[in-house]
Chain A
Amino acid sequence: MPPTTAGSGRSLALVVGVVLVLAVAVAAIVTSLRPSPQLDPATPEGTVQAFFQAVEADDWNGVLSLLSSQLREDCEASELAQFRDDVDRAVISDVDAAGSETIVEVRVTRVVIDDPLNPYSYDDTFHFVLAQEDGRPVVVELPWQFYCEGVR
């Protein structure tokens, strides 16, 4: 291959590579800024999603409203607010029906990026137990990560 052709081929590869990397970067940022699909709040999965969205928004009264009447009596918003971790990604990993109750398992990923050159993440699993109350699913058993003195 003549040197000029090889040189232009290399330049083309460089340009294509740069464009591809830019496209991936832009797409990653755009999709990461896009809100997650909203699940039906009348389902256990939708209730759990609303729970995490309220946690992310520090709306602890909103979190309380998703709990059963018994849990609302036993828990206070200030106790739930002790949960301080950021949730970067939450994925429903399992949904099991156990009689009248539904167990929703959520895998939560938290990312620590104090140093962007060395970010790290860790996963945690949250177990929610939900049941129907007043015609809507509510949380009857909180994951252990949320502490309420009246419950334990």
Chain B
Amino acid sequence: MRLVLLLLILIGGVVALPFILLARRRNTSQGTSPAEIVTYLILAVATLVTTNSISALLEIVMPGDGVLIGGADDLALSLSTLIVAGVVAVALWIAMERTTTDLARPARELYLAVVNAVSMTVVAVGIIRLLTWALGVTSFQLSALADIAAFGGAWFLHERFRRPPEELDELRQLAGALLGLALASAGTAGVLFASFYTVLSSGQVIAGDDGLSEVLRTSLALLVVGVPFFWWFWLRGLADRPGSWRTGYALLVSITAWLSAFTALAVLLNRIMQWALDGGGGGSSSISASAAITIVAGLIYWHHRPVLGRERNQSIRIVEYVLSAIGLIAGSGAIVTLASILGDNLFGSGSIIADESRLALGALIVLILSAVTVWRYWLKALRLASDPIEANSAPRRATILILRVGYFLVGAGSLIVVLYVLLRAALDGSASDLSEGLTVAVPLVVVSGLMVWHLAELRTKPATGGAAPSGPIAGPRKLGTVTVVAADPGPLPMMIHGMRFLKRGDGVGVVDQSRADEIVAALAAISTSAAMVTVDTDGFRVIPLS
């Protein structure tokens, strides 16, 4: 036994050795190197594997389960993993800490953020499992307690390792905010679902459980855990810290929430229509679920979208162009579906049953929702095309390019199908299968072709009334090099092409959207071809360079 343990420790040491040597070679004056990032990521994996092994061991030794006898395999596996991963983690941590200076260490912060994010997630899930047991939904699982103890310890320990200046602290907050949002929104949707289902479902349950009580209790557990996370990491944390992390978070959540609301609303309207057509029988479960998701996703969008700002900035452009693209694609799909149904009904032969009304109504609902989206975002973007900043913005150009390529490929593929069916019919001398092969392919070719033409028009003739300005978008005149000195450049890199960035070591100078707009306007007003911008707590300064 001692020999095996010794061997395992030796293996751990051998695995850790190259990274320790790498860490010791690092000069304290060097910045963050790829090797350092890789080393810290390996350290993160080793730490999490070690913590998981501790959790497994705790589960084995905790009273009440009695697994010690007969659990020799699990015990051996957990012990061997703990020894190897533990040696690697401790040795690497000590080696890396020796090289630590007072300067900011992004790789170290990345490690802390990753370990804290994973640990807090496991702890949150563990608490939910305990709560669902306490509320009588699930049976008791010892692993939940073991996970809370082990990963809670790792979280607590790594919180103590944090020290200023922290450049990547927002990553930890972002993970906590996302976790809290996911849990709280799932809990809210569960409560709403149970309420709607109670109202909509007809008939009294006379035997067994309709499951609503379990849904409510599980939702309560999700809310109890999710709301504090959301409040602490978002409302009291990231929401008050303008910068690229907050913008990125709000951007991601806004798009996801809008897409969820769009999909759920389409399902809801379709279900309501089917429900009405079927005389009100059945379907109350899916109506309740889609209504709950629509409301929750709508609320999430309504809360997060204003974080991106009110004036049309780059973040808002990204959101609106993504939503435009979704609307265009969904609308095209709906038109193709309706046209293919029409083609089937007009040209199809031998039909003895044709009841595609459900599909047609579903496509009509999608078409209406898509039309509203296209009208709200895409037509607005087309109207704004006379603005050179809008016309040359990266989100617009990327959206047009991606849509053009996508529609072109779909159209080309469909054209191959059309030609294949026509040639096969011509060579066989029979036209019996024509309608079958063409009712989908022809509408696809037509719609894709029209969309490619529309998008090509936008690219070749932007509505500027003349040639599109080239170069950076920071003004009508082409700028040379712009160097920005700040703690966080925010959206500036997306607004100034080829911008250089020098990060302030004192953490001062966070650029939010309104500040970025002011900087771009100030840069457009200077006469030199290059400039330096310094951002402070109370404003910014543009220094023209010759």
Contacts and interface: CB of A to CB of B under 8 A. Distances in A.
A90 B338 CA distance: 18
Given A91-B348, A116-B266, A36 B341 contact: no
Interface stretch (B29-37, B84-92, B364-372): B364-372
Interface in B402-450: none
Contacts of B339: 24, 28
Interface residues of B, number: 38
B68 interface: no
A21 B366 CA distance: 13
B352 A91 contact: yes
Interface string A40-61: 0000010011001100100000
A8 B251 CA distance: 36
A15 interface: no
B362 interface: yes
Nearest to A115: B267
Contacts of B270: 113, 116
Given A113-B359, A116-B366, A117-B330, A25 B338 contact: yes
B357 interface: yes
Nearest to B341: A28
B364 A29 contact: yes
Interface in A81-100: 87-93
B357 A90 contact: no
A33 to B, nearest CB: 5
Contact of B352 (A29, A31, A32, A45): A45
A32 B348 CA distance: 12
B363 interface: yes
Nearest to A52: B353
A19 interface: no
Leading 3 A-B pairs by shortest Cβ distance: A116-B362, A31-B345, A90-B353
Interface of B: 262-263, 266-267, 270, 286, 330, 333, 335, 337-339, 341-342, 344-346, 348-367, 465
Interface of A: 3, 21, 24-25, 27-29, 31-34, 36-37, 39, 45, 48-49, 52-53, 56, 87-93, 106, 108, 111, 113-117, 119
6 contacts: A25-B335, A29-B357, A31-B342, A36-B353, A89-B355, A106-B352
Given A32-B345, A115-B263, A117-B366, 16 more contacts: A28-B360, A32-B359, A49-B353, A52-B352, A56-B355, A87-B353, A89-B353, A90-B352, A90-B354, A92-B352, A111-B356, A115-B266, A115-B267, A116-B365, A116-B366, A119-B363
